[in-house]
Homo-oligomer: A and B are copies of this chain.
Amino acid sequence: MAQQHLDPTNPLAGPVTGDALAGYLRAQATEFLRALRLHRETGGSTANGSHGSNGSEDAVDAARALRRAVRRISGSLHTFRPLLDPDWSESMRPELAWLSGTLAMEHAYAARLERLLLALHRLSGAVFPGQSAGVAVGSRSAGAEPVPKKAEPGNAGPPSHPAPAPDRGNLTVGAAKAGALLERQLTLARTRAHSSALQALGSSRFHAVADNIAVLASEVPLTTTAPTTGLHPMAAAAEERLTDAVGSLPLVTAGSPYNAAALIHGLSPDPAPHPQDAPWHQVRLLLRLHRYAREVLDGDRGPVDVRLLAAGQALDRHRDASEAAAAAAQAARTPRIAPATAYALGVLHADQRHEVEAARFAFQQCWQKQTVGTP
């Protein structure tokens, strides 16, 4: 991979220097300003507006575009640090991290609630309108690479997805109560996150960041040597950090289906997120930095690396499932809940931890393919 994409002798890639970085940062800053304008026009009312209206959808899009631009600027400042004015970039980076974190929370709570409610329905055997049982069954492995089918047609038989059973489709009392509890807790968290985000966007701290990014849209504070310095060594270093981190993941275990490793502390007294997840979260961040560095180098010419995208999606799924499992475990600690509610939350927690395991398997499959496929 390093050879294929970052080789400075590759005639297609050309000599990519600090100028490309400046162009990339200008484009992202412009995108940020555009999204910010859109966000203000739509009022940013994602939490209270009705979901179906165009205004609300635009607000969601604007918020996503804001987060997207901030992540890319922040990541580029990190990876290509030596090419940028140190005082400026050192002052910007914590501000961008704060902004990125603040903007992400509301979406994260909304997505977590949606994931948990979908899982509750799936676990109750409910079939959604317009969604066949087969789709519901296959949904978990959607991100996974399909396993090679070695079945002989005569013996494998038809897929035979379990037929939808409408009489089993209703939520049990426990599942319904668990859903209501999660909805209450996560909606509250989401509303608070929404208020925090609105407050942040009105703060003088934010205005300082926005002013800085506005300057960035026209003038990138490169060091004097940057325009003639190649970007490849720094991008290669980012990739190496990723490769090292992946190398220390338990990929052999992850590649053996049903290794039951993700639920190993499923009943642990510690309510904190599983320590075993941390290296995977770290790889997720490093993969993102690697992807952004590639964007800087390849520009619009670069081919989309679908395997890298798939690996990133598997790690996103890993993070989402890990946090959803923690939310279910946390909800089960609510005082005075009914045993049936707690039981449903236990099933839900274990289900999401298995989703964590499934995401690791999917990542391992992507990564192996990637490694084998390159010269």
Seen from chain A, the residues whose Cβ lies within 8 Å of a Cβ on chain B are 120, 122-125, 136-141, 144, 146-147, 149-152, 154-162, 165, 168, 170-172, 174-175, 243, 246-253, 255-261, 263-270, 275-276, 332, 337-351, 354-355, 357-358, 361-362, 367-368, 371-372
Known pairs A122-B264, A151-B252, A168-B265 / 11 extra A-B pairs, C-beta < 8 Å: A123-B264, A151-B255, A155-B246, A160-B248, A171-B267, A257-B358, A257-B361, A263-B347, A267-B347, A332-B339, A344-B346
**What's the least CB distance linking A357 to chain B, in Å?**
7
Q: Once bound together, how far apart are the Cα atoms of A243 and B172, in whole Å? A: 38
Greatest chain B CB density within 10 A among A261, A267, A332, A361 is at A267
Contact call A267/B141, Cβ cutoff below 8 A:
no
Contact B159 A252 (CB under 8 A): yes
Given A141-B260, A154-B247, A253-B160, A168 and B269 contact (CB-CB distance below 8 Å): yes
For A157, give the chain B residue with the smallest CB separation: B247
A2 to chain B, nearest CB (A): 12
Q: Copies per complex?
A: 2
Q: Which residue of B lies closest to A340 (CB)?
A: B342
Q: How far is the CB of A151 from chain B (nearest CB, A)?
A: 6
Q: Is B155's CB under 8 angstroms from A367's CB?
A: yes
Q: Are B155 and A267 in contact (CB under 8 A)?
A: no
When C-beta atoms are compared, the residue in chain B nearest to A152 turns out to be B371
Closest-CB distance, A231 to chain B (whole angstroms):
25
Given the complex, which residues of B lie within 8 Å of A350, measured CB to CB? 346-347, 349-351, 354
Q: Which of A122, A247, A351 has the most CB of B within 10 A?
A: A351
A-B contact pairs, 29 of them (CB 8 A): A122-B260, A123-B265, A124-B265, A124-B267, A124-B268, A125-B265, A138-B253, A140-B258, A140-B260, A151-B255, A151-B368, A152-B372, A154-B247, A155-B243, A159-B250, A160-B248, A168-B265, A168-B268, A168-B269, A171-B267, A257-B258, A257-B358, A258-B258, A266-B347, A267-B344, A339-B339, A339-B341, A345-B346, A346-B346
Residue on B with the closest CB to A255? B147
CB-defined contacts of A152 to chain B, threshold 8 Å: 371-372
Q: Given A247-B154, A263-B123, A253–B347 Cβ distance below 8 Å? A: no
